[in-house]
Amino acid sequence: MRFVDEFRSADKAHALAAKIAELCEPGRQYKLMEVCGGHTHTIYKHGLEDYLPESITLVHGPGCPVCVIPMGRVDDAMALASEPDTIMTSFGDMMRVPGSKGSFFDAKAAGTDIRMVYSPLDSLKIARRSPDKRVVFMAIGFETTTPSTAMTVLRAAAEGLGNFSIFCNHVTIIPAIKAILDSPDLRLDGFIGPGHVSTVIGCRPYEFIARDYGKPVVVAGFEPLDILQSIYMLMLQLSEGRSEVENQYTRVVPWDGNLAALRAINQVMELRPYFEWRGLGFISQSAMRVRPEYAAFDAELLFDVPGVRVADPKACQCGEVLKGVLKPWECKVFGTACTPETPIGTCMVSPEGACAAYYNFGRMNRRRVVEVSIT
């Protein structure tokens, strides 16, 4: 199939893998972080690690939108949704994320009106059709999804739609990367930069990583060859002693980002002073809220939000996994108490979460399995 198969060619992958292996210095270990959960998903779904030498370890970063939502925020959303005459709309990924009293699916089963939408704009259709209900969109995601939420609010404002609001949980990627770089328990050699976030913010925001921290960054696409090529580009920088921001995903990512999208975000939203991230704690200026000019669309002002902080379960090591300090299987409860059926941590929920990706796709002894599948 065109536009898919050419990015999944096993022949090209073998050629790239050989070049990557040549760039490895004997005795040196390399830790590269793919920031984005979409990359984590691709890596596991296509078995990309089979192509990497043992000296290269991929560390799965924090760029999974539902993985970073703290439990208290899920509880708040459910409190909003259970208000009378209220319909909550949500992306599918969010439906299984556990709060302290279960997930959206559980709340739906108990009678709360929570509906899955494919685009925030679908929420407006529901709001128009149900003028006697209040429709709240559970807005989550990094800069990839923020513009579509902003456009939805602008559309609602233009239409004068009075029964639509958003519960804004949009987060920004740069402060999270900075928190990881400043974390003492981690040594990374380079970053595979998030592709879809960069279609919006461009490549310039990563320059501090190369300049101030001396780590190379390659913004990458989401097909397996994109990621393999990005690893090659990172290894080439490392072997030549360079640390620069490079763009592998040129077919989609403009260096300066998407100004129209950034303008829309800036018109509707502003930075919060700080926001709690699941497992990473409070990070300053790391999330967005609705600007006062659009207060009529801000569910946090329109509804009584409990705002109670819920501590992560002690046994859950999502934070360490999100920072890449632990591999998913190194978490104490991985696969036993915490499974995709009954996730304790959010990393086990989304297909982009590192734990879910490992559990669903990579739960095997890679060496033994490779031997089996070759015969």
Partner 1 sequence: MTGRAGPDAGPEAGRPAATWVDEALREHAEHAGPAAARPGAAPPEREQQVLDRIDRARRRRPRVREERITMSHGSGGKATRTLVEAVFLEAFRNPLLEPLEDAAQLHLNGSRVALTTDSYVVSPLFFPGGDIGDLAVNGTVNDLAVAGATPLYLSAGFILEEGFPVADLTRIVASMKAAAEVAGIQVVTGDTKVVQRGKADGCYINTAGIGVMEHEMSLGVANAQPGDAVIVSGPIGDHGVTIMLARGELDIEADITSDTAPLNGLIADLLSATTGVRALRDATRGGVATILNEVATAAGVGVTVNEDAIPVADVVRGASELLGIDPMYVACEGRLVAVVAGEEAGTALAALRAHPLGEQAAIIGQITDEPPGIVLLKTAFGGTRIVDLLVGDPLPRIC
Minimum CB distance to partner 1, residue 243 (Å): 28
- 370 lines the binding site for partner 1 (CB under 8 A): yes
Nearest CA to 343 out of 35, 66, 77 is that of 66
- 15 lines the binding site for partner 1 (CB under 8 A): no
- 130 lines the binding site for partner 1 (CB under 8 A): no
Minimum CB distance to partner 1, residue 342 (Å): 6
Mark 296-331 as b/e (b = at least 16 C-beta within 10 Å).
bbbbbebbebeeeebebbeebbbbbbbbbebbbeeb
Minimum CB distance to partner 1, residue 306 (Å): 7
- What is the per-residue DSSP string for 68-85? T--HHHHHHHHHHHTSTT
**Sequence-separated (6 or more) residues with CB below 8 Å from residue 191:** 32, 33, 34, 35, 61, 177, 206, 209, 215, 216, 217, 218, 234
Minimum CB distance to partner 1, residue 30 (Å): 16
Dihedral sign for Cα atoms in the order 17, 19, 21, 27: negative
- 8 lines the binding site for partner 1 (CB under 8 A): yes
- 18 lines the binding site for partner 1 (CB under 8 A): no
Distance (Å, whole) CA 194 – CA 311: 29
The interface region with partner 1, picked from 72-80, 81-89, 175-183, 233-241 by CB under 8 A, is 72-80
Q: Which pair of structure tokens corresponds to residue 37?
A: 């959960």
Q: Which of 267, 302, 320, 325 binds partner 1 (CB under 8 A)?
A: 302
- 362 lines the binding site for partner 1 (CB under 8 A): yes
Q: Which of 31, 108, 155, 291 binds partner 1 (CB under 8 A)?
A: 108
Across-strand partners of 60? 34
Distance (Å, whole) CA 58 – CA 71: 27
- 289 lines the binding site for partner 1 (CB under 8 A): yes
DSSP-H helix ranges across 202-293: 207-212, 224-239, 259-268
- 70 lines the binding site for partner 1 (CB under 8 A): yes
Distance (Å, whole) CA 214 – CA 258: 27
Binding to partner 1 in span 31-60, by CB under 8 A: 38, 41, 44-51
- 319 lines the binding site for partner 1 (CB under 8 A): no
Q: Which residue, 236 or 305, is less far from partner 1 as judged by CB?
A: 305
Distance (Å, whole) CA 245 – CA 33: 14
- 147 lines the binding site for partner 1 (CB under 8 A): no
Minimum CB distance to partner 1, residue 347 (Å): 15
- 306 lines the binding site for partner 1 (CB under 8 A): yes
Minimum CB distance to partner 1, residue 260 (Å): 18
Distance (Å, whole) CA 97 – CA 94: 5
Q: Which of 272, 291, 320, 325 binds partner 1 (CB under 8 A)?
A: 272
The interface region with partner 1, picked from 18-26, 80-88, 108-116, 204-212 by CB under 8 A, is 108-116
Binding to partner 1 in span 149-188, by CB under 8 A: none
Distance (Å, whole) CA 292 – CA 203: 30
